[in-house]
Amino acid sequence: MAGIAVLLALALVAGLVTAVVVVRRPWPQTSGEIELSGLEGEVEVVRDDAGIPQVYADSMHDLMMAQGFVHAQDRFFEMDVRRHATAGRLSELFGEDGLESDLVVRTLGWRQVAEQELTMLRPATRSALDAYAEGVNAWLAGRSTSEMALEYSLLGITGLDYTPEKWSAVDSIAWLKAMAWDLRGNLEEEIGRALTAAAVGTEASAELYPSYPFEKHAPIVEQGGLLGDVFDQDVEPSGSDLLRRPAPGGRRTVAALAGVRSVLSGVPALLGSGDGIGSNSWVVDGEHTATGAPILANDPHLGISLPGVWTQVGLHCRTVSTECPMDVAGFSFSGVPGVVIGHNADIAWGFTNLGPDVTDLYVERVSGDTWQSGRKELPLTTRDETIEVRDGDPVDITVRSTDHGPLLTDLVDLDEELDAVDLADDDGLVEQADDVARADTAAPGDGWDVGVSLAWTALQPHPTADALLALDMASDWESFRAALSDFAVPGQNVVYADREGHIGYQATGLVPIRRAGNDGRTPAAGWEPDTAWTGRFVPYDALPNVLDPESGIIATANQAVIDPRRYPPHLTDDWDQGYRSTRINELLDADDELSVAKMGAIQLDDWSAIGEALTPYLLEVDLPRGYYSDGQRLLRSWNYRQGADSAAAAYFNVVWRQVLERTFADELPAALEPDGGDRWFTVVARILRRASSHWWDDVETDDVVEDRDDILREAMIAARDELTARQSPNADEWTWGALHELELRSATLGESGIGIVERLFNRGGWEVGGGGSLVDATGWDAREGYDVVTAPSMRMVVPMDDLDAATWINLTGVSGHAFHPHYTDQTDKWARGETLPWAFSEDAVQDAGEDVLTLTPGS
């Protein structure tokens, strides 16, 4: 009977999707008139041939309400899934498949924090959020779910009886928690250091987590320092180093951390996660441009999804005034009012992830309802949560917290994790195996269990939503910096340009000040009071910032913000290693006639730093003539560029993956094997100079000690065989793009496991160039294959002398409706490196307009 039911469901799905009327029913009306109850006046929505809406209104209320209506038209299902994810309620829609994520999100309490943040917002921000929600709800009113999204129709066939709730301001704010989570900084590195040390020892682990190479890759800010509690770009101070203390060890601790790592991976990456998450942004002053005016560029590197993370929009008060001050266009999040990245009539701005260390894991001693702090036993705080599960019983959990944060190990099966623990027999780790007590801290009694708690700045309410809308209405450097003062999480690098010719940079974020016992690099001993946060944060005015640097160039690509020798506050140790930023600076510095087109070309730069470092060694390897030396022949004339049609790039990247596997997989657990990102660029570049480094030896071969050339030879031979099997025996027919494909997948029904359903929502087959840690950062994971997993989620270039000459492109399109003309219409251009014209002035918008929708006040 179950099999018949499945076949019947598939037949119904097949019949449903062939019905054009069902597919098209949710598509938005984009011309004519619609009455909206609650509007104060008439609103005009002008869409160009890419479906990008530009909204014109006479009041902030109407502008925000219209944006909510338009976002719902294009992307309500995405918005609804996002709010379920951020509230820990995915299980209500998707059953047990959503439970793993819900357990973590409920434990962290994202929704509760968002509710607290709502009460902290300025009245103008609260009004904008409420008006936006009013617009979403006006779109929802009177619509059946089949008129909202094809996904609801398919879920209905599976038995889901569901009516979406009204949208609320908290739904919008909670999305900022997801943004903060995906860009949370060095939590993965913190766990990774501890687990790597357990696997190979602390000395070997340190080689795999290299310090930032300041001597090779300049930080963002190269001048200034603290003058009291204020950053001054003209002072020359000296800095100091933090005390470093080893992490707690032992089998139970390692098992707990491994379990926490696994549990956290269950939260869907709504923006993306992993080594490829980053961004490029830069700005140059008029001395470097053909027109004498600043130009700003930005391309955030995030996870790939369908629909894409961003949706483009313009928001214009017909008459700009103190009552209606908005005239802005750029990239927005569906579900959140305003523009996140873009420009208004006076300034432009771009974001890259600063990645400050705003999370700390604490290994706790827990017994019953208490935890240890110093010589005291303190009560755990608790709250109860009930998770409703579609087609299943509700799941009740009790969230327990220490003063540091919630206990994530309450979600871990510690006995199961213990079975998988394999510790290195050095540094005293094995001797501590089942003892979580430290010799210098007397335990108050026997029977302590291991717990792991999380301290995270995003769990402390802060009015970040104020910053987003204030930024949209900033008009100069002072108001720009004032707007960003409330931007708490995630910490960002923000570049700036204005119509007066100024350029600037501001670091943002709530960065904790730690006590001496905790440097944030590895999990800390929670029972030791000197590891706790002080409760203070680096003052906003003390964060690095610079206006009009002498160089006339500011480039940020997730590299170090500033040399710690001149800046004592600890931001993080886990910067991107700086390969992208150095390349960008070189390209910008080489041209004093930069234009919009040249800036766009830099965004597409596919030169490989690891290609330059590794290739000379590959060319020295002695290979059999003919078949196995064909790839080596390609490398002899390779220019280190990774275009989609490059045979040499295809061969090099397969060799690179083989080198990583053959060098490190014999000693590292599968979860810690190299992903091939910027950290591994540095690690491999350093050991290449040491032909007999212990890393080259394969510990699984008892009678042989391999050296560098042995591993490189094996990797090159294996790569030749792999490419023969994958593409062609003729090396000249290989292409990097055929390996490095972009597949866009819906995170919900696109992962259903039912082929016919997945084909409805997923799109793919784009062969692209670039690669991980290149300027054209189409990242791939060497543990999985060569397919793109992170990418520039959009690209924009803004010349400040002519805003109508700006360009932009989105990874997908503005629509979230499968089969809609604007579902993936921008992807083809994106993959070819093309952009769209970005009209801003009213005349230019009207000239580019294809459809005009008028929203009128309802009776």
Kindly write down the DSSP assignment for every residue of 635-673, as one continuous string: HHT--SB--TT-HHHHHHHHHHHHHHHHHHTTTS-GGGS
Residue 427 has pLDDT above 80, yes or no: no
Mean pLDDT for 262-285 is 80
* Rg (the chain; Cα; Å): 27
Q: What is the pLDDT of residue 517?
A: 81
Backbone angles phi, psi at 662, to 5 degrees: -75, -20
Instruction: Cite the residue boundaries of each domain of the chain with CATH code 1.10.1400.
Output: 609-640+647-734
Q: What is the pLDDT of residue 8?
A: 40
Residue 199, sorted as left (phi over 0), alpha (psi -120 to 50) or beta, turns out to be: alpha
Query: Is residue 411 a contact partner of residue 107, using CB atoms and an 8 Å limit?
Result: yes
Q: What is the pLDDT of residue 184?
A: 80
Residue 434 has pLDDT above 60, yes or no: no
Residue 355 has pLDDT above 90, yes or no: yes
Q: What is the DSSP secondary structure assignment for residue 694, as one 8-state letter?
A: T
Q: Tell me the whole-structure pTM to 2 decimals.
A: 0.94
Q: Among 174-178, 583-587, 648-652, which is the least confidently predicted range?
A: 174-178
Out of 2.40.30.10, 2.60.40.10, 3.60.20.10, 3.40.47.10, which CATH number does the structure's domain 1-605+785-859 have?
3.60.20.10
Q: Determine the Cα–Cα distance for residues 696 and 58; give it in Å rounded to an integer.
A: 68
Residue 165 in tokens: 């709730």
Q: Determine the Cα–Cα distance for residues 657 and 439; give it in Å rounded to an integer.
A: 43
Q: Determine the Cα–Cα distance for residues 817 and 21; give it in Å rounded to an integer.
A: 13
Query: Is residue 425 a contact partner of residue 329, using CB atoms and an 8 Å limit?
Result: no
Q: Determine the Cα–Cα distance for residues 504 and 659; give it in Å rounded to an integer.
A: 41
Residue 738 has pLDDT above 80, yes or no: yes
Q: What is the pLDDT of residue 597?
A: 98
pLDDT tens digits, residue range 24-70?
999 999 999 999 999 999 999 999 999 999 999 999 999 999 999 99
pLDDT tens digits, residue range 357-410?
999 999 999 999 999 999 999 999 999 999 999 999 999 999 999 999 999 999
Burial-class residue 444 by CB neighbours within 10 Å (0-12, 13-18, 19+): middle
Backbone angles phi, psi at 751, to 5 degrees: -115, 25
Kindly write down the DSSP assignment for every residue of 44-78, as one continuous string: EEEE-TT--EEEEESSHHHHHHHHHHHHHHHHHHH
pLDDT bin (cut points 50, 70, 90) of residue 423 is low
Residue 842 CB neighbours (<10 A): 15
> Cα 473 to the chain's mean position, in Å?
25
Average pLDDT of the chain to the nearest whole number: 92
Q: What is the pLDDT of residue 442?
A: 33
Q: Which of 734, 771, 768 is nearest to 634 (CA)?
A: 734
User: Class of the 609-640+647-734 domain?
Assistant: mainly alpha
Q: Determine the Cα–Cα distance for residues 231 and 566; give it in Å rounded to an integer.
A: 11
| Cα-based distances in Å from 58 to 44, 473, 543, 556, 650 | 10, 16, 38, 37, 55
Residue 274 has pLDDT above 60, yes or no: no
Q: Among 10-14, 275-279, 687-691, which is the least confidently predicted range?
A: 10-14
Q: In what order do the strands lie in the sheet with 341-344?
A: 32-36, 851-857, 43-47, 53-57, 311-317, 327-332, 341-344, 347-353, 492-498, 503-507, 545-547
Instruction: Cite the residue boundaries of each domain of the chain with CATH code 3.60.20.10.
Output: 1-605+785-859
Kindly write down the DSSP assignment for every residue of 574-585, as one continuous string: ----SHHHHHHH
Q: How many helices (H) and strands (E) does the chain have?
A: 26, 31
Q: What is the pLDDT of residue 426?
A: 41
pLDDT bin (cut points 50, 70, 90) of residue 307 is very high
Q: Determine the Cα–Cα distance for residues 239 and 219; give it in Å rounded to an integer.
A: 15
Q: Determine the Cα–Cα distance for residues 448 and 458; give it in Å rounded to an integer.
A: 29
Q: Which of 321, 354, 272 is nearest to 557 (CA)?
A: 354
* Three-state secondary-structure class, residue 138: helix
For residue 803, the one-letter residue type is L
| Cα-based distances in Å from 249 to 54, 245, 713 | 57, 12, 38
pLDDT tens digits, residue range 470-494?
999 999 999 999 999 999 999 999 9
Q: Determine the Cα–Cα distance for residues 153 and 151; give it in Å rounded to an integer.
A: 5
Please calculate the CA angle 498-563-299 and round it to the nearest 5 degrees. Answer: 40
For residue 334, the one-letter residue type is S
pLDDT bin (cut points 50, 70, 90) of residue 446 is low
Q: Determine the Cα–Cα distance for residues 557 and 579; give it in Å rounded to an integer.
A: 9
Question: Could you give the percent of the chain with pLDDT greater than 90?
Answer: 83
Q: What is the DSSP secondary structure assignment for residue 459, as one 8-state letter?
A: G
Buried b vs exposed e over 402-413: b needs ≥16 C-beta within 10 Å?
bbbbbbbbbbbe
pLDDT tens digits, residue range 196-205?
999 999 999 9
Residue 702 in tokens: 């008892």
Kindly write down the DSSP assignment for every residue of 228-268, as one continuous string: TTEEETT------PPP--PPP-SHHHHHHHHHHHHHHTTS-
Residue 195 has pLDDT above 80, yes or no: yes
Q: What is the DSSP secondary structure assignment for residue 745, as one 8-state letter?
A: -
Q: Determine the Cα–Cα distance for residues 760 and 150; give it in Å rounded to an integer.
A: 10
pLDDT bin (cut points 50, 70, 90) of residue 512 is very high
H or E segment and range at residue 189: helix 187-200
pLDDT bin (cut points 50, 70, 90) of residue 433 is very low
Task: Encode 499-547 in three state secondary structure.
Answer: CCCCEEEEECCCCEEECCCCCCCCCEECCCHHHCEEEEECCHHHCCEEE
Q: Where are the beta strands (DSSP E) in 53-151?
A: 53-57
pLDDT bin (cut points 50, 70, 90) of residue 444 is very low
H or E segment and range at residue 482: helix 477-484
Residue 848 in tokens: 């580019």
